[in-house]
Amino acid sequence: MKLISATPSPYARKIRIALAEKGIAFDLMTEVPWNDDTSLPQHNPLEKLPVLLPDGGEPLFQSSYIMEWLERRYPEPPLLPADDDGILAHKRIEVIADGICDAVILIMFERMRPQGHQSEPWILRQKRKIDGGVAELARLIKRGPHAIGDGFGLADIAAGSALGYLGVRFPEKDWRTAFPDLATYADRLFARPSFAGTTPVAQTIRDRVV
């Protein structure tokens, strides 16, 4: 099994963490997906990361779909509870966390446009999404130790990946001061081996994308 990832990608990080938590061996292939020589078109028609390449199977893409596939194909240890309400609670937090990351990416690329071509109203709109998303994570999770119930799971993976991504691509967002209980929760997650071994690192985009 192989995973195509980018070092800062919070979406790929979710899968790396899940694979580590489930003890699934895989080869990591690191790419800069925005560069012209990316191999992504060979595996994903949408040219997005992550892409999981199962041995002898079709490529899998889109992080929430890959998470679902992993949970069904490798159910132990479970990253989702057995009851529907618990599953939906985890997925709700995943939606919020992914939305935060989406907004960060939109700001990043808007800021790559030449001066005079950047839309400040657009950037402010994305900042509001980030502010609202982080505040909602803080409301739902508080200081943990886990996002949902008494066990580690998908919600923790998603929330921790989003909060870690803010430090790489949007460090001006001082969510720690605003939400100290959420910071306590995040620091506990970041010390977990699956998180510590997947710390995001910024990549340099070589080719122009905007």
Cβ–Cβ < 8 Å for 43, 59: yes
CATH number of the domain enclosing 32: 3.40.30.10
d(CA 164, CA 97): 11
Residues in the chain with pLDDT < 70? Answer: 208-210
Cα 192 vs. chain centroid, distance in angstroms?
Answer: 16
Q: Report how far residue 38's alpha carbon sits from residue 4's, in angstroms, rounded to the nearest whole number.
A: 11
pLDDT at 210: 64
- Give yes or no: residues 192 and 144 share one domain: yes
> Is the domain of 15 the same as that of 63?
yes
Last residue of a domain, one of 45, 73, 101: 73
Q: What is the pLDDT of residue 206?
A: 82
Taking only the tens place, the pLDDT of each residue in 91-130 is 999 999 999 999 999 999 999 999 999 999 999 999 999 9
**Same domain for 139 and 177?**
yes
The answer to whether residue 191 sits within a structural domain is yes
Task: Concatenate the DSSP letters of all residues of 92-136 into one string.
Answer: HHHHHHHHHHHHHHHHHHHHTSPTTS--HHHHHHHHHHHHHHHHH
Report the pLDDT value the prediction gives residue 143, as an integer from 0 to 100: 86
152 and 91 in a common domain: yes
CA dist 27 → 14, 120, 179 (Å): 16, 41, 37
Same-domain check for residues 191 and 89: yes
Last-in-domain residue among 73, 103, 127: 73
Specify whether 92 is located in the same domain as 152. yes
